Amino acid sequence: MKHNNYITAALIILTVTMLYACSKTETVTFKSPKSYMPAVKGKYIIYKLDSTVTRSFGSGFVTSSYTVKDSVVDVFTDNLGRESFKIFRYQLNPSNNTWASTNTFVLTPQESSIEFVENNNRYIKLINPVADGKTWKGNSFINQSPYYINYIFSEWNYTYDKVGSSRSVGSFTFPNTVTVVQSDSNDNDIFNPYSSNFYNKGYEIYADSVGLVYKDIMSWEYQVFRHFNNCILIRPKTTGTGNDTLGVNCNDPLTNCDSLMQRPNHKIKCDTVIDRFYYNGYGIKQTILSHN
């Protein structure tokens, strides 16, 4: 009889434990976007900035490096009644170690999102909740790409990745960061000087209680215009073995050399001559050097 009492007591304890476990709900707490992009008058971050621009006459790209400081200089209310922060960018003159103002940005932090205005373009940098896989149209206010004539720029899908991860950037190790993947096109190919290329990549890393600590954006197009000389079509003989060779004009759209090469065992050999080409685009990379 006592043995049965022990069994009954054990079943009661097990039942109560299971009911408690089932009724318990897990609470997930997300960091506010403001935590990753804090703003207060007097705050600054100094960056190494690498700017990549098109050479004269579109003959390639050239990269220049600078030291810049983004400083929050004023707090104001925008035309929608929202608290906003004016940020001055200063560039260091290494010859005399002085700073000169070069640009002005506006940061508008809200609980639902954080907007950033640069060169009259309004970006939605962060949104709520800050959670892995969360996506949004960060360029939805921008009709024309600031990098090149890219009609899909407003459709870039920003996505949170590695939320809460420790990341090393420059000489710092930040225990809590979030990466914003702005774009990383599947069409990004290795540069080929003989064919048109397009490239769109954008990443930003924000550190808790610090702000933007790393930025890497590159968006460009390469257009090439060419013609073909001395084109020869190599194809199997209609009878017997071996190949026939036939001169073709691949500059004539009616010839459609691409279709000819799709046929079994057909090849075309040409002397390719590039008439002209051009690059168009821009890239920027920022790496934190120091902050207050």
Structure-token pair, residue 272: 């390719």
Q: What is the C-alpha separation between 236 and 39, in angstroms, rounded?
A: 71
C-beta of residue 67 within 8 angstroms of C-beta of residue 47: yes
Q: What is the C-alpha separation between 37 and 126, in angstroms, rounded?
A: 8
Mean pLDDT to the nearest integer, 161-185: 95
Mean pLDDT to the nearest integer, 194-202: 82
Looking at every residue in the chain, the average pLDDT score rounds to 87
Q: What is the C-alpha separation between 6 and 114, in angstroms, rounded?
A: 61
The pTM (predicted TM-score) of the whole model is 0.75
Report how far apart the first and last C-alpha atoms of the chain are (Å, whole number). 74
Structure-token pair, residue 289: 């050097």
Q: What is the C-alpha separation between 283 and 56, in angstroms, rounded?
A: 16
Burial of 245 (0-12, 13-18, 19+ CB in 10 A): exposed
Structure-token pair, residue 263: 């046929």
DSSP letter assigned to residue 31: -
Residue 9 has what pLDDT? 52
C-beta of residue 213 within 8 angstroms of C-beta of residue 248: no
Structure-token pair, residue 148: 């090149």
Which of 275, 278, 143, 283 lies closest to 221 in space, CA to CA? 278
Burial track 97-131 (b if 16+ CB lie within 10 A, e otherwise): eebeeeeeebbbbeeeebbbbeeeeebbbbbbebe
Which of 180, 181, 177 lies closest to 165 in space, CA to CA? 177
Which amino acid type is present at position 238? T
Residue 226 has what pLDDT? 75
Q: What is the C-alpha separation between 36 and 55, in angstroms, rounded?
A: 36
Residue 29 has what pLDDT? 57
pLDDT digits (tens, 9 = 90+) for 27-85: 455 689 999 999 999 999 999 999 998 776 666 788 999 999 999 999 999 999 999 99
Q: For a pLDDT cut of 70, what percent of the chain falls above it?
A: 86
pLDDT digits (tens, 9 = 90+) for 245-275: 999 998 888 888 888 988 999 999 998 777 7
Q: What is the C-alpha separation between 259 and 226, in angstroms, rounded?
A: 18
Which of 186, 189, 133 lies closest to 160 in space, CA to CA? 133
Which of 226, 227, 246 lies closest to 236 in space, CA to CA? 246
Domain locations in the chain as residue ranges: 33-224+279-291, 226-274
